[in-house]
Amino acid sequence: MANIKSLVLFGWLAAAVLSGYAADTYTVGDDLGWTRPPLGEVAYQTWARVKDFDVGDTITFSWSGTHNVAQVTKEGYDNCNATGNLLIGQVQTVSPYNFLINSTDPYYFICTVPEHCTNGQKVTVQVRSWSAAAPSASFSSVFFAIAASTFIFASLFY
């Protein structure tokens, strides 16, 4: 009987610990989507500033009409230029486009349709380092692990 309780609690413990590291999906601009923002680049700057991006998260660019998305270097971002070595990968022309964050480096994205980037259709995604992300994601998991371990050991020995 104690072994069954232990296995069940171990399963809950494992699920709790792993759930602290679940990846998130973010839609660029939330309800605004990926478009020429009415107030310029401040819309996407504000959107990105309040998000906690981590490795493993997905960024979704969703648009209608004539838009695209290009990952570029910092220089390409600053100059709204996705030509030559300023472009990373290919210009994405099909919406929605999902981008998987796979490092803690900053990512720079622009729309290459003429005048869209210069009118603010660009976003920088700053990814948290593992040391910054781990404490907030794992505190409740650690607390649960200690409580569950105490219960498991008590069940085994009493």
Quick one: pLDDT at residue 128?
87
C-alpha to C-alpha distance for 34 and 21, rounded to whole angstroms: 27
DSSP letters along 65-87, please? SS--EEEE-HHHHHHT--SGGGE
Quick one: pLDDT at residue 23?
84
**Taking 50 as the threshold, does the pLDDT of residue 18 lie above it?**
no
Contact 106, 127 (CB under 8 A): yes
**Taking 50 as the threshold, does the pLDDT of residue 13 lie above it?**
no
Residue ranges of alpha helices (H) inside 27-129 are 42-49, 74-79
**Taking 70 as the threshold, does the pLDDT of residue 7 lie above it?**
no
**Taking 90 as the threshold, does the pLDDT of residue 77 lie above it?**
yes
**Taking 60 as the threshold, does the pLDDT of residue 157 lie above it?**
no
C-alpha to C-alpha distance for 74 and 88, rounded to whole angstroms: 11
Q: Which of 10-19, 93-102, 137-146 has the highest average model confidence (pLDDT)? A: 93-102
- Which residues, other chains included, contact 14 with Cβ-Cβ below 8 Å and sequence gap of 6+? none
**Taking 70 as the threshold, does the pLDDT of residue 22 lie above it?**
yes
Average pLDDT for residues 39-50, to the nearest whole number?
A: 94
Beta strands in the chain (DSSP E): 25-27, 58-61, 69-72, 87-92, 97-100, 107-110, 122-125
- Which residues, other chains included, contact 64 with Cβ-Cβ below 8 Å and sequence gap of 6+? 33, 95
Contact 35, 63 (CB under 8 A): yes
C-alpha to C-alpha distance for 90 and 128, rounded to whole angstroms: 25
Read off the tokens for 27: 């839609």
**Taking 90 as the threshold, does the pLDDT of residue 143 lie above it?**
no
